[in-house]
Amino acid sequence: MRSIRSSVWALVLLTCIAGQQTLAQSDPYDALRSFDNQNRVASEAIRAQIVAAGRDAAALARVEARLAAVLADPATTLAGKQEACRLLWPIGTERSVPALARLLAADETADMARYALERNTTPAAARALRVAAAGATGRRLVGIINTIGERRDAAAVPLLRGLVRSRFPEVHDAAVAALGKIGTPAAVAVLRSRPIANPEVAQAMLQAAERLAAAGDRRGALAVLRQLVGPPHAVTTRGAALHRLAGLEGPAAVGAALAAARSGDAYLAPVAARIAGSLAGPAATRACVQVLPALPEAVRTVMLLALADRREPAALPYALQAIRSESEALRLAGIRTAAAIGGARAVPALAEVAGGTRQPDRGVAREALAGMGGRPVEDAIIAAGRTGTPEVRAAMMAVLAERPSPAATGALVQASGGEPASVAAEATRSLGRVGGSAQLPGLFRLLVGGSSEQVREAAQSAFIAAAQRLGERDSAVGQATAAMAAAPADTKTALISVMAELGGDAALRELEAATRSGDEDVKHAAVVALADTWADARPMGTLLGIAREDPSRSLRVQALRGYLRLLAQADRSAAEEKVGKVREALAAAVRPEEKRQALGILRECRTESSIELAASLMDDPALLEEAASTVLYLAAPQRVENRELVAVRGPRATAALDRVIEKATDNNQRELARRLR
Amino acid sequence: MPEPGRIDRREFFRTAAVGAGAALFSVAPASALGRGGSIAPSERIVVGCIGMGSMGMGNLGAYLGQHDTRVVAVCDVDRNRCRDAKQNVDRHYGNSDCRAYHDFRELIARSDIDVVVLSTPDHWHGVPAVMAMNAGKDIYGEKPIGHFLTEGRVMADAERRNGRIWQTGSWQRSLGNFRFACELVRNDRLGKVVRIEVGLPAGGGIGPVEFKDPPPHLDYDFWVGPSRMLPYADQRTHWNWRWQLDYGGGQMMDWIGHHGDIAHWAMDWDATGPLEVEGTGEYPTQGIWDAATTYYFVCKYAGGVEMHVANGGNRGVRGGTRWIGANGSWIWVDRGGIDAEPKSLLRETIGPDETQLYRSPGHHREFLECVKSRRSTITPAEVAHRSASVGHLGQIAMLLGRKIRWNPVTEQVIGDPTAQRMLSRPMRSPWRL
């Protein structure tokens, strides 16, 4: 009996132990100890605890304590410690510092400890880092100094004072950088004790100046910057100091900026010119425009644009002067500056450039004019479009299209009916881009009755563009259809072209009827329009009929080419059906050119009938090579735009390859056919 | 007062739009005249490229293709990539002059280099960028600008204080459809915008991988650089670094600098940020990729406008950027095109008296023009930092599982020290910003 009781007790005990083991295994902190850098179930579970804790300090403290225990456990792997540090990064307090301090003391764990400590704002963390720095060397020391700098730990300045004297450049540079980030007067004093020509020291001083300014010590910041802004410092340091100086002093820094702008240094001068030109205020502006003409062109360009960017009107005379400069960069800067600040006063000068022949000035001026706002500017552009030279007037018509408004449209309508033709044509083209429904009838009138061929051509394009843009295709086709009967021959040709461009059922009916016209010119125009312009497959039957039966050879050829174009581009039939249509076209074809066109379509039809038809064309010596090439293309697998095309196989494909082997004169083709067979 | 040298481009270009293909400024760069005022042998901008992976090679090609640049140096910690990039440059110029560097500090130390093209992984953006700007280089840098939020702030400050020119690889701003969409929004074609949807790609996970020694051509310690040292796996480094929070920020951080950036541009939020951010994300628990695979977070801005950022398809958010007006009208834009409801919005024109956004002549080209003119680019560091901040804040909110409140002026989290700490990450020795 006793032994039975013992056995039962032992069983219970074993069960409990097993249960505890299971519990232990499911505990994420235990699992974290053997983290393998891949299975993040445990660390995600701990993250979930952090998420659940929210801003509850007590709950976060429990997580932190568990993580600190993981760190303190000698059984925890390095990966586990690193992951624990990552989890401590956003939540650590003084509670985890002792464990982290131990990691700081070893090279292989110092980086991970800093990961957890750097954002830990407690004094304990700061102390741990300072203590660790005192005993660290090499890369570990550099890392700790960097963290001290990131934390802007002013209490570390005495420590850093010693470290800047290190004989190791990495330690020196890190300590200097940290002092710059700390940026207190005491830190600056240490930096001042170093050779200031050293670029690391200069950078740190620049950073410190910013810290001083942010802390309200403007005088201290200015003192540092004035020390750095002139020779013998590197031009990069001087430029940066100048930026900060201007940020603190504003217009009062213009003297220093202009001195640097006139330094002749290719790096510093443009940087300084930009700064000087950006300083607002009458005194700074006066100083800038005074020196502007004497600056080298490259530097002048930078300053001019800086003045433009802050809309300084005093720069206008210099901008207008710059427009006539020999330097392209300066001319373009002048154009842009004048546009930015000149308003209507700048329009005549810009219009002159826009109407000129010099590129890129002409394009830049047009775009600048197009973007200038305000009614006075618009009035000035319209005025220039009325009174300038024909070239300037035409340019203004193009500009008005870029700045649509009722007034602009009115000016365009007026000019489109006037003289000279070049201006009227440009105005008409612009109406095609910006005109509304109300302008369509006017454009149509110009199309059928414009004063010159130039205007009529412009009106044709404009009418089509406007109707398409406005979604008024049907009414536009209606206008064209209605005008056909009474139109003279050359106008009918234009109307047919318009209908072909616009498309639609009514247009197709009209064009197909025109292909049967007794007027040869009309008929020719209709066939050409369908063959060359029409966009869908519907007229293919008409075109094939003409290709077969029309008495005119040239029309037959034209129609056949159109038929093949639409078959290739617009016909959506299945491949087999397409091959049948090619066969019909070939029956009507007499010239090798159209047969080659047909072969091109066969290449897109991966069927046996296609390869067979291609092979049949090898009988024509003029087509032998292309036909063989088509057979080989179809008989081989292809990859086209990421699509895999399978090879055509079967007895007819084999026969086609045999025909290549038999008839081809090109050895390579024959050899390829043998391999594919 | 405004920072001297800063440019209010919006204001300027309201009246002086410069269109695509506009002529170039050609103020001579430092190398053209020579530092110290000597006369230079050429007028080309001298370029050095750091990071020669896929983006790096793309950017290299872009700068090799410019008429006024000369690429003289490439740098990568992967010897093979560095070699390939050098061969590429040498082949282009027909010589063997391009220098290949292992250590970016040597490249930056070259006084003849005007421009650094920075195409490194995210965790290697801040250190070389700040170092290069302090050394007087202008930078074309990939997005997201900073690997963590405060890093972006340091970089933007370095750009401004050093008077440097910075272009971020948020190149969508240089495309016409994005600009037009933003101009429509800016000019109130939707009326008051009440909601913005930003759809980005979803991420992916990976099963257990094999840890092993790095390949001999890769300096893995240097590659890890300022981030935490984790054991090498093939799936850790090239291309795949993006899916790990120690080196990247997932698809979300990759794309926030595109579609999120465009959302900001349209709303004129280039110098500000949200007031509240809240959301959830799915973070894998297995394998070495730990960035969120799916995510949805909402940023609330001043005026109550909400920006919903999600992987595309998540709760109906469509890939791209969509602004929705109070009256239900909307404008959507993506690389595939632009759409709107009502459709008539797409036929709108922007008049000269309206807000016209800057028309870039091409993203790389625009940078070079600004290097010459010393004007700010279309995506300076400050803009990139503000766009990226949205992603960083979203990431923190998702990781903490709670709403965080944000002061976009002081760039501090309000009332949440835990979240505040997560704005920055300690760097491995010896690296520092």
Contact B419 A90 (CB under 8 A): yes
CB contact, 8 Å: A177 with chain B?
yes
> At residue A601, what is the residue type?
I
CA distance A444 to chain B (A): 22
**A311 pLDDT more than 60:** yes
Q: Among A44, A270, A367, select the one facing B27 at the smallest CB separation.
A: A270
DSSP output for B262-276: HHHHHHT-TT---SE
The answer to whether the bond into A28 is cis (omega within 30° of 0) is no
Contact A47 B32 (CB under 8 A): no
What does the buried/exposed string (b/e) look like for A647-667 if buried means 16 or more CB atoms within 10 Å of the residue's CB? ebeeebbeebbebbbebbeee
Contact B287 A38 (CB under 8 A): yes
**A13 pLDDT more than 60:** no
DSSP output for A78-94: HHHHHHHHHHHTTT--G
CA distance B1 to chain A (A): 8
Q: Where are the beta strands (DSSP E) in A22-82?
A: none
**A273 pLDDT more than 60:** yes
Chain centre to alpha carbon of residue B314? 24
What is the token pair recorded at B433? Answer: 């910003």
Contact B5 A301 (CB under 8 A): no
Nearest residue in chain A measured CA to CA from B400: A51
pLDDT along chain B (433 residues), means of 10: 39 32 37 41 84 97 95 98 98 97 98 97 98 97 98 96 95 96 98 98 93 98 98 97 97 98 98 98 95 98 97 94 97 95 92 90 96 95 98 98 98 97 97 97
CA distance A459 to B373: 42
pLDDT band with cut points at 50, 70 and 90 for residue A25: low
H-helix or E-strand containing B289? none
**A189 pLDDT more than 90:** yes
CB contact, 8 Å: A301 with chain B?
yes
The model's pLDDT over A315-370, given as tens digits with 9 standing for 90+, comes to: 999 999 999 999 999 999 999 999 999 999 999 999 999 999 999 999 999 999 99
**A639 pLDDT more than 80:** yes
Query: What's the pLDDT score for residue B55?
Result: 97
What is the token pair recorded at B291? Answer: 């960035």
What does the buried/exposed string (b/e) look like for B197-208 if buried means 16 or more CB atoms within 10 Å of the residue's CB? bbbbebbebbee
CB contact, 8 Å: A115 with chain B?
yes
Query: What's the pLDDT score for residue A640?
Result: 86
Query: What's the pLDDT score for residue B43?
Result: 73
- Partners of A332 on chain B (C-beta within 8 Å) are 23-25
Sheet containing strand B320-325, strands side by side: B337-341, B330-334, B320-325, B193-200, B306-311, B294-300, B276-282, B404-407, B412-414
CA distance A504 to B202: 44
pLDDT band with cut points at 50, 70 and 90 for residue A201: very high
- Partners of B283 on chain A (C-beta within 8 Å) are 44
Query: What's the pLDDT score for residue A26?
Result: 82
CB contact, 8 Å: A344 with chain B?
no
Residue in this structure with the two tokens 């797409």, named with its chain if needed: B346
**A642 pLDDT more than 80:** no
Query: What's the pLDDT score for residue A272?
Result: 96
Contact A114 B426 (CB under 8 A): yes
Say if CB B367 and CB B165 are below 8 A apart: yes
**A24 pLDDT more than 50:** no
CA distance A59 to chain B (A): 13
Say if CB B41 and CB B53 are below 8 A apart: no
Query: What's the pLDDT score for residue A22?
Result: 44
**A94 pLDDT more than 70:** yes
Query: What's the pLDDT score for residue B351?
Result: 85
CA distances from B308 to B220, B256, B271, B318 (A): 38, 12, 19, 11
The pair phi, psi for residue B406, each rounded to 5°, is -130, 135
CA distance A189 to A169: 20
Nearest residue in chain A measured CA to CA from B135: A236
* Chain B contacts in chain A segment 209-268 (CB below 8 A): 210, 235-236, 239-240, 242-244, 246-247, 250, 253, 263-267
Interface test with A, best of B232, B429, B431, B433 (most A CBs within 10 A): B429
Say if CB B351 and CB A402 are below 8 A apart: no
* Chain B contacts in chain A segment 591-620 (CB below 8 A): none
Work out the burial of residue A494: count CB atoms within 10 Å of its CB; fewer than 13 is exposed, 13-18 middle, 19 or more buried.
buried
Query: What's the pLDDT score for residue B11?
Result: 37
CB contact, 8 Å: A279 with chain B?
yes
- Partners of A51 on chain B (C-beta within 8 Å) are 399-402
Query: What's the pLDDT score for residue A443?
Result: 97
CA distances from A532 to A154, A367, A558, A581, B390 (A): 81, 35, 9, 19, 53
Contact B162 A243 (CB under 8 A): yes
CA terminus-to-terminus distance, chain A: 92
CB contact, 8 Å: A65 with chain B?
no
The model's pLDDT over A213-236, given as tens digits with 9 standing for 90+, comes to: 999 999 999 999 999 999 889 999
Q: What does the mean pLDDT of chain A come to? A: 94
The model's pLDDT over A512-522, given as tens digits with 9 standing for 90+, comes to: 999 999 999 99
Query: B243: Cβ–Cβ under 8 A, 6 or more apart, which residues?
Result: B203, B204, B206, B250, B289, B290, B291
CB contact, 8 Å: B230 with chain A?
yes
CB contact, 8 Å: B32 with chain A?
yes
CA distance B275 to chain A (A): 19
CB contact, 8 Å: A82 with chain B?
yes
CA distance B320 to B339: 11
Residue in this structure with the two tokens 């399978």, named with its chain if needed: A646
Query: What letter would DSSP give residue B309?
Result: E
Helices (H) and strands (E) in chain A, counts: 41, 2
Say if CB B288 and CB B206 are below 8 A apart: yes
CA distances from B313 to A85, A131, A434, B199, B258 (A): 36, 53, 38, 8, 17
CB contact, 8 Å: A368 with chain B?
yes
Q: How many residues does chain B have?
A: 433
CA distance A657 to chain B (A): 42
Query: A608: Cβ–Cβ under 8 A, 6 or more apart, which residues?
Result: A648, A650, A651, A652, A653
Q: Among A51, A275, A339, select the one facing B400 at the smallest CB separation.
A: A51
CB contact, 8 Å: B375 with chain A?
yes
CB contact, 8 Å: B18 with chain A?
yes
Q: Which of A149, A164, A156, A236 is nearest to A195 (CA)?
A: A164
pLDDT band with cut points at 50, 70 and 90 for residue A23: very low
H-helix or E-strand containing B295? strand B294-300
CB contact, 8 Å: B206 with chain A?
no
Contact A47 B399 (CB under 8 A): yes
Give SS3 for A455: helix
CA terminus-to-terminus distance, chain B: 27
Q: How many CB pairs lie under 8 A apart between chains A and B?
A: 256
Query: What's the pLDDT score for residue B9?
Result: 37
Nearest residue in chain B measured CA to CA from A169: B430
Helices (H) and strands (E) in chain B, counts: 14, 15
Mean predicted confidence (pLDDT) in A291-301:
94
Nearest residue in chain A measured CA to CA from B429: A143
CA distance A254 to chain B (A): 11
Nearest residue in chain B measured CA to CA from A358: B23
Helix A375-387 crosses helix A406-416 at what angle (to 10 degrees)?
10
